[in-house]
Structures are given as C-alpha cells and as structure tokens.
Amino acid sequence: MVVEAQVEDLADGVPLGVLDELAGYHLRRASHVMSTDFSRAMAGTGIRQVLFAILSIVANSPGINQGAAGRALAIQRANMVSLITELVEAGLIERRTAPDDRRAFALTVTPAGTEKIAECLHRIRAHEDRVFSGLSLAERAALIELLRRVEANAE
C-alpha cells in the first residue's frame, strides 16, 4: 500500500507534488482526456461536445428559447448565437420566432437532428465505455453523482 503511494504520485516518472492532492488538477486532466477521446470518437460527424449538449437539451424541450437552453448548459448568450447558427446550417435544428415572445427564438430538432443524435449516442456510449474501462459501473455512477454535486456549487 505504502509502496504504491509513491507510484501514484508519479506522472510519466515525474512527481506531481502538491498538485496530486488537488481535485481541480485532476478534474482538469480527466476532462481533457475525455474531450480528446470524444473528438476522436466523433470524427466525421461534425458534432462537438457543446453541439451535442445543445441538441440533447433542445430534443428534450422542443420549442425552448435560445437563452434558456444556453443558461441550462452554462453557455453565454453571446456564444450561443454562432453555435445555434452552426446547427441550423447543418440542418439539425430549426430556429423560429417564439409565438409568445417576438424577441426570442424557439428551437426544435429536425428529423435529421434526431437521427444525428441517435448516431452520436452510439459513438458516445462506446467512447465512454472506453475511457471508463478502468471503472466499474457503480464507480462510474458514483463519479457522476459526485460531479453533479460539484456543479451544483456554481454561482
């Protein structure tokens, strides 16, 4: 046990020092590993992490406002504009003036968007299984639960 501790503190044979006890560092690293593998898994689909998140939330709340979708995903209004345009131009999302509020846009997923979500989901599930191959299903669920509680702490 003690012998292993020395090894766990190493990255590429180099000791991380205090860094190894900081959750923020590990969150950053693990997130980076995930993103990298996600991109690989999605190659050719034109879908990135943010785009899939938007598709998913719009599919679950048809007619949702651009701003509301962004808020739920912690994406700023200003940054939503080009992301939604990207999805609209790809034919995956429809953007219509909201019937009840002429300032807002009501978003819906097109049939092509629904198909795309299904296709991506297959790839994403395989990707997650790959990256989390070192964790049991229970551990993966525990990780998600812990992360949810960290998220809840945002302002």
Binding pattern to its own copies, positions 27-46, x when CB under 8 A?
xxxxxxxxxx-x--------
Q: Nearer to DNA by C-beta: 14 or 137? A: 14
Q: Nearer to its own copies by C-beta: 94 or 128? A: 128
Give the nearest distance from C-beta 95 to DNA in angstroms: 7
Length, in residues, of the chain: 155
Residue 54, both tokens = 């938007």
Q: Nearer to DNA by C-beta: 55 or 83? A: 83
Site for DNA in 75-134 (CB under 7 A): 75-81, 83-84, 98, 101-105
12-24 burial, b for 16+ CB within 10 Å, e for fewer? eeeebeeeeeeee
Q: What is the 3-state secondary structure (H, E, C) of 108-143?
A: EECHHHHHHHHHHHHHHHHHHHHHCCCCCHHHHHHH
Task: Return d(Cα 101, Cα 106) in angstroms, integer.
Answer: 9
Do residues 57 and 69 lie in contact, with contact meaning Cβ atoms separated by under 8 Å? yes
Give the nearest distance from C-beta 53 to DNA in angstroms: 9
Q: Nearer to DNA by C-beta: 19 or 141? A: 19
Residues that bind DNA (CB under 7 A): 28, 32, 36, 48-50, 65-68, 70, 74-81, 83-84, 98, 101-105
